[in-house]
Structure 1
Amino acid sequence: MDVIEPLTHHELLLVIVQLTVLLFVARLLGELCSSVGQPAVVGELLAGVLLGPSLLGFVAPGVYGSLFAVSASQFHLLEIISWLGLIMLLVVTGLETDIDLIIANGRTAVILSAGGIIVPFTTGFALGWVLPAEFIAAPGQRLVFSLFIATAMSISAIPVIAKVLIELDVVRRDVGQLILAAGMVDDTIGWILLATVAGLARTGVVDFGSAATTVLSVLAFLGVAFTIGRRIVAETVRWVDNAVGSDAALLSTVMLFALAAGAITQYMGLEAILGAFVVGVLVGQVNRFDYRVRHSFETVTLSIFAPLFFAIAGLRMDVAALADPTVFTVGLVVFAVACIGKFGGIVGVSGLAGLSKWEGITIGGGMNARGAMEIIVATIGLGLGILTTSTYSIIVAVAIGTSLMAPAIMRWSIPKIEMSERERTRIEREQYLRGSFLNDLTRVLLPTRGSVDTQYAARLVGSLFRDRQTDLDLLRIDESPRSSRRPSKFRSRLERFRLVRDGTGSRETSATRRAESERTDRLFTQVEQRLGDRAGSTRRLVRELDGSASETILESASSGYNLVVLGERTLGGDPGAPLFSRTIDRVIQRTPCPAMIVSTSESVKRTPALMDDPIRRILLPTVGTQSSRHAAEVAFAIATAENALVEIAHVVTRPQSSDRFAGGPDLSDELDIGSQIVDREAELGRQLGAQVVTTVTAADNPGAALVSLADRNDADLIVMGSNTRPISRRAFFGPNVEFVVTNAPCPVAVLNSV
């Protein structure tokens, strides 16, 4: 077999110099545009224009000729880098596509999207049908050309729109959400249209059969992707995170999926960008691909590969062609049709969607930005032989012009939109949730021996994470003697040999293993029954005892978990002994992540069936600390899932009798502070959808007062926050917490989060 010759020294040198110059100029102009309030993509596109025949080719034709006026094979090396950047950019766009957001704003988004797709598609198709033949690369395929122009007119630029909304600090406003939702619907339909038109262009024959085949191919791919593909992507990302646990592994996994899906759609006669976009959407729905990892991927894409793509795309634009009167006139017509179709279509249907005039203008102005997406469409059209260089330059100019218009229109119109009380409440709630303790919990570890306390802990975990995509791992520690554990491969072969030789020995071991496996299965099944239906996944883990049970739990907890939940009964009221067992005590002291300890009451221990009783009232003691706030989040989440009432209580400690003044102490200031503390927690509870009442009182022994309050009001659960500190080599939660845990008439959950 012939060996493929490597790149020559000059070819390699040239492509490295090309990439260096393109990236430097693209990033420089991108930062300059950002500094004056314009999208960076505009500067990155201008970099290619300046380095192309328009400026560099005119000012320094020798330099341009040696750098970029190269052979087709040499330029293809740049195109490969460009396509890699394009695939990564479409993954980022998919990551920003929030399916839940589209569903939440369903009716309004669909109406706006209809106006933003149907009107510009119709006007774009009509424009393509009447444009002079010299603007069509293949005059015999005017229908495909017209469909392509219609698709280009229909697309919006979510990255540009999102960036402008973020800069204006309105991305979470109702109008911002509507722009994103409608833009996502538009772009999703746009990519389907693009894949369909590209498929028609590739067949070379325009007939209903080929069109139907392309559409069916798109629908088949989307159907498989959002059913089987969704599960494969989610399970693979979770497995990689569990098995490897590094950001690099997750990023590699996403790129592998994007390239594989791109290869599949390309093989099907569609575009690779459709596969990359869908992978981005699917990965964005997996909670393991969190903000940190996503930000790393976006940083690499938007700082290196996307600028290279836009700069290389700009190289193909010839501004000199626009100086031709005919081309310039057609360019103005295309620009006008693009703006009238998209802006006019959305403003025209905004009244049907129940929006005000200024909301319609804002949404129309935002979605009129074409930016990166239209450059992608133009690049594909040029590569497929649909567009001429002049038409390509016109579409790129439209993309730049509309991207410059959008920020100006939105800055002018958004201040004129009044914020409703409902919108203000939602934004305040979202601002809190962004820094929420619960929202950061993606992986939870629940060690279990099958005890009543563990089962009740599982019941609380089920309610706590019922509607959250939080993954739960159930851990059982195999504490059996090493001789009865699963043997190594060598030992397995030896035991099989013994079984063949005398028919004994291994049968008892096999029976022991089978019995142990059945016990483990029953234990996990009991706990899983308490979890109920949850949005996240649940795994069963069995670990061999490594030194001690506490060391085994701690080693497992260090593998990327955000919370460890421990079910354990108290040891009694001996002040010198740990509140819980030595194992739990050591885990609490050394755990690398927050821990929640759940202890049931004596009545539940005597009658385990009581743990299935509904939770109707939760007592939430608070002292206003961060740990109390985290415990409040836990209590409110459980209360929302169980439809329970939360009683928020603050107990002021009365001074000792020796410190009291005649006539009793004045605790009015302390009680006022306590009222402020419970009112703050109550406001949070109402924002999170929980029913709350508040209690502020004074007592000599706050722990005893809380136990009495729980008993008097028939509390079904007490949730407390605490900061542990070592005292006499044991974890100490504080006297009030320990008194409540030891004496409470109902189950108690103690969250040690800081």
Structure 2
Amino acid sequence: MHQPAVIEPLTEHALLILFVQLFLLLLTARGLGEIAQQVTLPAVVGELLAGIVLGPSFFGALAPNLFTMIFPQLAGPYHLIEVVSWFGLLMLLVVTGFETDLELIASRARSAVLVSAAGIVIPFVTGFGLGYVLPATFLAADGQRFVFSLFIAVAMSISAIPVIAKVLLDIGAIHRDIGQITIAAGMIDDTIGWILLSIVAALAKAGTAGNAVAALGATGETILWLFVFLLLAFTLGRRLAESVIRWVDSAIGGQAGKITTLMVLALGVGSITQYIGVEAVLGAFVVGLLIGQVNRFDQSTRNTFETMTLSVFAPIFFAMAGLRVDLTTLTDPVLFGAGLIVLGVATVGKFGGAFIGARAAGLSRWEGIAMGAGMNARGAIEIIVATIGLSIGVLSIQMYSIIVMVALVTSLTAPPLLRKTLAKTDLSAAESERLERRTSEQRRFLGTIDRVLLPTRCGVNSLIAAQLLGHVVRERDIDVTCLYVDRDRAVNGERDRTLRQRAMNALSTVKRRLRRMDRRRDSIPYELQENDSASDCLQTIDEQLALSDGPARLMTRTVTTSVSDLVLSEAEDRYDLLVLGMSNPAQAADRSLLGGELDRILRVTPCPILAVSSNTVSNDGSVADLSVRRILLPTIGTQYSRHAAEVAFAIGADRNAVVEIMHVVTPPQPEETLIEPNLSEAVDIGEAIVDREAKLGQQMGVEVLTHVSVGDRPERDILTRATKTETDVIVMGCEIRPTSRRAFLGPRVEHVIENASCPVAVVSSV
């Protein structure tokens, strides 16, 4: 029987060479990248220079023997490091997809399309013409003049969104109108550029057979498959990406699972696009674009992936790209002259095209110049184009070196030009107002919240808390995790819900949702049965949240020590807000506000808290959908009162409810003063406090009323006002001051919680 031959592993010497190459490339690239950033240049400039320094231009010229020993000019060792480089390229395209904001493109559609159209068409035409007049010595193979010209046209018309975005971020202009239009136009350029690149690459591959008819047919087939791929990607693919990430986050959790899933999708989809005749990088770009729109792929995970990419794999790719460049060839007068011509055509075409498009869109002259300066930056994207052109045999090494030089020069000139031109563009009144509003939103309490944890056993207070939380987060990019605290199962350790549990409860879930539809129609309260499982409880909580972007993350954890230890351990996992349902103090055995363990959570939790008491439910545990038409917001003007106001306004905006802001002026006690107190000044201060909060509510789109009163017992005045105005929810702020046995919210807040006839939500953020 014939035995298959055993493939020998890499030799120790080959591994040594590979490790030394990676060591030198990464060390030099990161070092020069940091130096570039210190002189206000994009890091990619230094990373590209690293390859040039280590390549034949410098290292090879100074120590040719040592250079060939470390970087052998052989296919085997070269391809090993090239594989690592291509892996970094795929990851970089995923990150580029993250930066592509389709909503931004839509919001700046007219201006961005005009800038992008002129910025693509003009350099494409000039680049195509340049490809036809360049000497034949720049062609990689005879008979490819047409494909070569198309490739030069694509290289001339593309922009580098990472470089543009980095420069705009560095100079603080990315959120200006001009910055937004530049980013949107760059995104359109990149998207169209990748499609054009895929088509030209497919044409080049098909044309190698020498049969023009076959080449045309193969290209047409590739374009058809590309159209089908993009259609499926932006319809079914978007839903599939969201479903996969949600499943992984719920079943596995953590950043590792989501990053692994991202790379599996990038490699898998990249394999599909490579198979149909377009480049794998397009598949990776589409995966990054789709995953970037999934809320469950949170910013923290995205930052981790971007950090890993931009700090390790991308520098190796850029250094590898520069390693191919031999600047000594440009000492040839012909090549040097050709390089200057290519640089001039690239700059004039792209700069002029973007300027013409900007003027057609109604932008000012300086805004047009700024647009041209930004769009002319080529950076990483043009290096990728050149790398693909070299790998498929369209570009010669001389032409590759020229294009890399163009990418370097345009990336070097873009930052100072943008700084100078943007300094001459004035802010309009509308733009100033928008920027001020954005800055204010970023400083708000809710603007700092990305992840929320809601521990629950499906008590009525938790259900009401879930309803209120749903109103707060529904229109915000906030991820909610519902945690069922399991006391009953004798299982050691912690575990998430399994697929088997989901399958077993699928039928009951459908029935429950049908009951919920009937409940909303007939206003029949829903009663949670005592024997509901963890899965049923979590599904019920999820229904109470009713998030617009799909279900929340649902988890089960088994208590091994105490409930407070479990919840605090989970809360430390990068959560920004903890939402709790309060215990009824009249029924609690220990008479504490939240119960012993939840009191401890309230005292020592590392993040802000939203604690909710329902107050209106019956003793049998039934709860109906909460009708919120009027919200009472007591305030004393402190920071935590301001945070409570944001929560109240968010609920009011979602429910189209009226928010009444109330301040109670407390006169001094007779024993505290010897003269008759003048309360007019205190009332004026109270009016200023409620007016300040009212301005915030109006900015958040809420109908606001204000009320200032004078009273010895503010808590009683609050309850009286709530009853008189038929308030549906009271929202209060407080600070937590730990005592020896329990969390202390303050007697006034606790009095309101214990005696209100409507739900009370308490925000503690200090």
- Report the TM-score, using the length of structure 2 for normalisation: 0.85
Question: 2 CA distance for matches of 1:325 and 1:537?
Answer: 65
Is residue 649 from structure 1 mapped to residue 662 from structure 2 by the alignment? yes
Cα distance per residue 1:336-388 (max 9 Å; x no partner): 22112211111112133232222111111101100111011001100100001
Does the 8 A contact of 1:23 with 1:304 survive in 2? yes
What secondary structure does 1:729 align onto?
Answer: coil
CA RMSD in angstroms comes to: 3.3
Quote the residue 2:267 is aligned against: 259
Does the 8 A contact of 2:30 with 2:311 survive in 1? yes
Is residue 621 from structure 1 mapped to residue 634 from structure 2 by the alignment? yes
- C-alpha displacement at 1:608, in angstroms? 7.6
Quote the residue 2:373 is aligned against: 365
Distance 1:543 1:30, change over 3 A: closer
Distance 1:709 1:435, change over 3 A: same
Distance 1:100 1:570, change over 3 A: same
Cα distance per residue 1:691-743 (max 9 Å; x no partner): 33444444211212222333344433211122233446233211121122233
Quote the residue 2:148 is aligned against: 145
Alignment of 1:545-556 (within 5 A): none
What secondary structure does 1:351 align onto?
Answer: helix
What secondary structure does 2:277 align onto?
Answer: coil
From 202, 213, 216, the counterpart of 2:221 = 213
Quote the residue 2:671 is aligned against: 658
Deviates more, 1:677-686 or 1:744-753: 677-686
- C-alpha displacement at 1:84, in angstroms? 1.8
Alignment of 1:76-155 (within 5 A): 76-155=79-158
Quote the residue 1:47 is aligned against: 50
Quote the residue 1:636 is aligned against: 649
Question: 2 CA distance for matches of 1:25 and 1:569?
Answer: 60
Is residue 699 from structure 1 mapped to residue 707 from structure 2 by the alignment? no
Quote the residue 2:174 is aligned against: 171
Cα distance per residue 1:9-41 (max 9 Å; x no partner): 332222222223333332333233222222222
Is residue 571 from structure 1 mapped to residue 574 from structure 2 by the alignment? no
Quote the residue 1:229 is aligned against: 237
Distance 1:436 1:199, change over 3 A: farther
- C-alpha displacement at 1:554, in angstroms? 6.0
Quote the residue 1:731 is aligned against: 743
Residue identity matched to 1:63? L
- C-alpha displacement at 1:750, in angstroms? 1.3
- C-alpha displacement at 1:325, in angstroms? 2.9
Does the 8 A contact of 1:465 with 1:535 survive in 2? no
- C-alpha displacement at 1:549, in angstroms? 6.7
Quote the residue 1:688 is aligned against: 700
Residue identity matched to 2:219? A
Quote the residue 1:9 is aligned against: 12
- C-alpha displacement at 1:533, in angstroms? 5.2
Is residue 442 from structure 1 mapped to residue 451 from structure 2 by the alignment? yes
Distance 1:481 1:442, change over 3 A: closer
Does the 8 A contact of 1:450 with 1:524 survive in 2? no
Quote the residue 1:392 is aligned against: 400
Deviates more, 1:734-743 or 1:525-534: 525-534
Is residue 304 from structure 1 mapped to residue 312 from structure 2 by the alignment? yes
What secondary structure does 2:661 align onto?
Answer: strand
Question: 2 CA distance for matches of 1:525 and 1:389?
Answer: 60
- C-alpha displacement at 1:199, in angstroms? 1.9
Does the 8 A contact of 1:94 with 1:278 survive in 2? yes
Quote the residue 1:466 is aligned against: 474
Cα distance per residue 1:92-144 (max 9 Å; x no partner): 21222222222222222222211222222222222223332221112312222
Question: 1 CA distance for matches of 2:605 and 2:332?
Answer: 72
- C-alpha displacement at 1:562, in angstroms? 4.3
Distance 1:552 1:327, change over 3 A: closer
Residue identity matched to 2:61? F
Structure 1 unaligned regions, length at least 5: 484-491, 493-514
Question: 2 CA distance for matches of 1:249 and 1:609?
Answer: 37
Structure 2 unaligned regions, length at least 5: 492-499, 501-528
What secondary structure does 1:598 align onto?
Answer: strand
Quote the residue 2:551 is aligned against: 537
- C-alpha displacement at 1:421, in angstroms? 2.7
Distance 1:691 1:408, change over 3 A: same
Question: 1 CA distance for matches of 2:390 and 2:764?
Answer: 60
Is residue 424 from structure 1 mapped to residue 438 from structure 2 by the alignment? no
Question: 2 CA distance for matches of 1:675 and 1:542?
Answer: 47
From 381, 384, 393, the counterpart of 1:376 = 384
Question: 1 CA distance for matches of 2:280 and 2:483?
Answer: 42
Alignment of 1:594-605 (within 5 A): 594-602=608-616
- C-alpha displacement at 1:473, in angstroms? 4.7
What secondary structure does 1:596 align onto?
Answer: strand
Residue identity matched to 2:669? Q
- C-alpha displacement at 1:89, in angstroms? 1.5
Distance 1:80 1:479, change over 3 A: closer
Residue identity matched to 1:685? G
Question: 1 CA distance for matches of 2:173 and 2:604?
Answer: 43
- C-alpha displacement at 1:526, in angstroms? 6.0
What secondary structure does 2:423 align onto?
Answer: helix
What secondary structure does 1:277 align onto?
Answer: helix
Distance 1:85 1:576, change over 3 A: closer
Question: 1 CA distance for matches of 2:562 and 2:411?
Answer: 62
Does the 8 A contact of 1:570 with 1:579 survive in 2? yes
Quote the residue 2:194 is aligned against: 191
Does the 8 A contact of 1:368 with 1:406 survive in 2? yes
Question: 2 CA distance for matches of 1:234 and 1:733?
Answer: 41
Distance 1:599 1:185, change over 3 A: same
Distance 1:21 1:580, change over 3 A: closer
Question: 1 CA distance for matches of 2:488 and 2:30?
Answer: 61
Question: 2 CA distance for matches of 1:7 and 1:249?
Answer: 31
Question: 2 CA distance for matches of 1:725 and 1:609?
Answer: 32
Deviates more, 1:710-719 or 1:38-47: 710-719
Distance 1:611 1:88, change over 3 A: closer
Is residue 321 from structure 1 mapped to residue 329 from structure 2 by the alignment? yes
Does the 8 A contact of 1:257 with 1:279 survive in 2? yes
Is residue 156 from structure 1 mapped to residue 165 from structure 2 by the alignment? no
Cα distance per residue 1:248-283 (max 9 Å; x no partner): 444333333322332222222221211221222223
Is residue 750 from structure 1 mapped to residue 756 from structure 2 by the alignment? no
Does the 8 A contact of 1:245 with 1:559 survive in 2? no
Question: 1 CA distance for matches of 2:621 and 2:60?
Answer: 86
Residue identity matched to 1:429? R
Residue identity matched to 1:183? G
Question: 1 CA distance for matches of 2:621 and 2:244?
Answer: 42
Distance 1:604 1:563, change over 3 A: farther
- C-alpha displacement at 1:304, in angstroms? 2.5
Distance 1:41 1:455, change over 3 A: closer
Deviates more, 1:261-270 or 1:524-533: 524-533
Does the 8 A contact of 2:57 with 2:325 survive in 1? yes
Residue identity matched to 2:5? D
What secondary structure does 2:754 align onto?
Answer: helix
What secondary structure does 1:380 align onto?
Answer: helix
Question: 1 CA distance for matches of 2:588 and 2:680?
Answer: 32
Distance 1:420 1:22, change over 3 A: same
- C-alpha displacement at 1:553, in angstroms? 5.9
Is residue 26 from structure 1 mapped to residue 40 from structure 2 by the alignment? no
Question: 1 CA distance for matches of 2:30 and 2:662?
Answer: 56
- Report the TM-score, using the length of structure 1 for normalisation: 0.87
Question: 2 CA distance for matches of 1:445 and 1:624?
Answer: 28
Alignment of 1:450-461 (within 5 A): 451=460, 453-461=461-469
Question: 2 CA distance for matches of 1:302 and 1:194?
Answer: 24
